[in-house]
Structure 1
Amino acid sequence: MMRDLEMTTSPDDTALHEIARRLDDGAAARDAGTAPIRPALLALREVGLLDDDGTPDPALTARRLMRIGAADLSVGRLWEGHMNALYLAQIHGDAQARAAVQALVADGAILGVWGADGAVPVAPGADGLTLDGSKVFASGLGTVTHAVVTVSSGPQVRLGIVDATDWGRADPAPWQMPGMQATASGHYDLQGTALCCVIWLGDPGVYVTEPHFVGGVWRIAALQVGGALGLLDAAATVLRTRGRLSAPAQMDRLATAVIAAMAASALVTRAALAAVPDAPDAADRAPILSAAARLATEGIALDAIRTVEQSIGLPHFEAGSVTGRKARDLSVYLRQAARDALQTRVGAACFAEGDDLWTYL
């Protein structure tokens, strides 16, 4: 697998492609729960990807996210969270916080970003000394060692890094999703966490500043288009094995889907370059381009899922089907929060009276 849609690679990426193949080979076992996901994350450390916040070469980072997303979206999801945490620490943390995070990573920490609140939102408790509340959809339980969490909400929302190695606080049982099982997501209870142990990143409200907030969703878009490419590649492998790949109808469906994915990958790269903090007009352009990329790759991924269902037929839905597993992971990963708000924001920016649509093209 992962042969047909191989992206052009530089010599520096040779190790990454080999790791991607290993991730692809082990994805089924991780999905079934018979193999942990942590070793897969550690494989990324072999090529230095857990030390990189994605800013030195955003175009290369986008391509790498696509490559890992094609191999295993669950691994990609955790890597993107780790990368995002490093980025937030670098952008919003003071010198002491940045040094603390660097020390954690040097010591082998795997980071995550947990934003969704449980029934009791995470906020300082009444005692003024500890946190109340919990996080839901917290990815990487048992793998993530430290998480960037949102504390409070609205204009007072803050970012803080908390130790996440108290597995007694973790509850994976609520994660009853058809896909992304290998992420080991669930609830994490922060009740009683001492405020003095939190590594704070910036002042209240910095989390939602641009181009660091919506401007960063290009990373999600990169994983989505990668997931679509990986699914199409898996379908081509199945069809080739059956001697059906060269059928004109099959080739037409797959070619149409892959051409759309290629086009979307260019938009993702453009969004990644626009989100660099010192890029021209980054605070205005990056959120729109990132949101547009995220929406475009969602549509393309949904089309890829439908294409593969039509091409493979009923065997796609059999237990153990590689395309079925990849499609389930992709369909769950596509369901990010506030999708309609992103679309409205893109439209308002592009078509507002007096604004120039060509700014974003």
Structure 2
Amino acid sequence: MLKFSEIRACSQRVPDDPHHFPSEVFRLITEQRLLYINLSGEFRKEAFPISVFQALFEIGKAGLPAGRIYEGHINGLELIKAYGSSSQKDFYFREAINGKLFSVWNTEMNSEAVTAERIKSQVHLNGAKTFCSGGLGIDYALITAKMDGGKQLLIIPLKEYKQLEEDCSLWQPMGMKNSVSCRIDFSGIAIPPKNLLGSLNDYEQEPWFSGGAMRFAAVQLGGAEAVMIAGLEHLKKQNRTADPYQQQRMGTMAVQIQSGKFWLEKAQDIYDNEDKYTSGEIINFGNMMRSVVLEISENILHLTERSVGVQGFMENHPLERLYRDLKVYLKQPGPDLALQNVGSFTFEHYNL
């Protein structure tokens, strides 16, 4: 039986520090076999009691920084599933089963974009990635690099390169601190060609480049429920549950969280039955889901803030850190464009 309450309790004990990887949280996640929940049956050889999107939601609910790292791990395995060779899948999936963590790092500054060049029998890297969630707590980083006129995915076994360092000077946010989303400079690193994943520009192939937003939306929704629960527990302790205004707010939040869970179910259906949907439908649903979860989460933050008041912004209050983490994690790129694309798709495809 999965014990997400233990993961939640452990997440609450992790120092709110950009240098502190939540290793104990991931020890529990590993023990509960959640690192390979999205692998096919030939690798995991067992049924899981919950779906991939339920796991993303529950770990987000337990702690958003760990949820962010976990989502990156799931994304990494999905990319290997989609573009890896048979030998790569066999090796890296068994590594995941053995507790190794993966992540996907694409963000970079234009002035130091990562490049890769073949020189003799090695691929030499130059440049740095920013917002490297998990930092050097990750075992295998999937990064993108400019190479041969395109964008190439590379798999970097981080533990083999002792010269790599975490630069947290750019990661000083108000929340999500222990997601350890640091800058890492890969200049001077050389990897064997077998560590190239897929072909040029595979990383941005649709529908899952955009449709993958469903994953981080699932984590966000879990964080939103955690915020709501913190408000609920506060009101119970203050004996304010009979207040009609508080009941109205709590009712509104409960409806919105439940509606979000219906989106999770549909996301899982699309994930399990991809062949039943067109690429455009998957992309559109991803844009819709991230938009609606953003709205739900912002409403939860507002209503909980109104319900708890200034006490919830004291450092020793359970809500304070949850509030900051969700506020930061909601800042995903391109929310306006996502909603615009939903509108464009609707004009073209909506059945009247």
Give TM-score scaled by structure 1 length: 0.87
Q: Report SS of the residue matched to 2:51.
A: helix
Would you say how many aligned residue pairs link Structure 1 and Structure 2?
A: 340
Whether 1:67 and 2:58 are equivalent positions in the alignment is yes
1:289 pairs with 2:289? no
**1:245 positional shift:** 2.2
Aligned twin of 1:133: 127
Please say if residues 73 and 330 of structure 1, whose CA atoms lie closer than 8 Å, have aligned partners that are also in contact.
yes
Quote the Cα distance in structure 2 between the aligned partners of 1:290 and 1:55: 23
Q: Amino acid of the residue matched to residue 263 of structure 1?
A: S
- What is aligned with 1:26? 10
- The one of 207, 210, 218 aligned to 1:211: 207
* 1:317 lines up with 2:317 in the alignment: no
Q: Is residue 21–residue 180 contact of structure 2 (8 Å, CA) maintained in 1?
A: no
Q: Which string of whole-angstrom CA distances, capped at 9 and with x for unpartnered residues, describes residues 124-165 of structure 1?
A: 149684011111001112311111111128982221111223
Q: Match for residue 12 of structure 1?
A: none
Distance 2:239 2:327 in 1: 28
Q: Give the SS at the match of 2:183.
A: strand
Distance in 2, Cα, partners of 1:31 & 1:270: 35
Aligned-pair CA distance for 1:320: 1.9
CA shift, 1:36, in A, is 4.5
**Equivalent of 1:254, from 250, 256, 259?**
250
CA 197–239 in structure 1, closer or farther in 2 if over 3 Å, else same: farther
Indicate the SS of the match to 2:208: coil
SS at match of 2:130: strand
Contact 2:246 2:307 in 1 (8 A): yes
Q: Percent identity?
A: 24
TM-score (norm 2): 0.89
Aligned to 1:3: none
Structure 2 distance, partners of 1:254, 1:55, is 40
Q: Of 323, 340, 343, which aligns to 1:347?
A: 343
Q: Is 1:43 aligned to 2:28, yes or no?
A: yes
Change (3 A) 1:348 1:145: same
**Residue 152 in structure 1 maps to residue 146 in structure 2:** yes
Structure 2 stretches of 5 or more lacking a match? 42-47
Asked if the contact 1:59/1:269 (under 8 Å) is kept, the reply is no
Closer, same or farther: CA 345–31 of 1 in aligned 2, 3 Å: farther
**Aligned residue among 295, 298, 305 for 1:302:** 298
Task: Say what the alpha-carbon RMSD is for the aligned residues.
Answer: 2.4
CA contact (8 A) 2:128 2:186 kept: yes
Task: Check whether the contact 1:97–1:200 (CA below 8 A) recurs between aligned residues.
Answer: no
Does the C-alpha gap of structure 1 residues 332 and 281 become closer, same or farther in structure 2, counting only changes over 3 Å? same
**Counterpart Cα distance in 2 of 1:336 and 1:155:** 28
Give the Å deviation of 1:301. Answer: 0.4
Please state whether the residue corresponding to 1:67 is helix, strand or coil.
Answer: helix
Q: CA deviation at 1:261?
A: 1.8
Q: Which amino acid aligns with 2:14?
A: R
Aligned to 1:87: 78
In structure 2, the partner of 1:114 is 105
| TM superposition shift of 1:113 | 0.8
Distance 2:189 2:117 in 1: 10
Match of 1:164? Answer: 158
Query: Residue 281 and residue 35 in structure 1: after superposition, are their counterparts in 2 closer, same or farther (change >3 A)?
Result: closer
Equivalents in 1 of 2:287, 2:215: separation in Å? 11
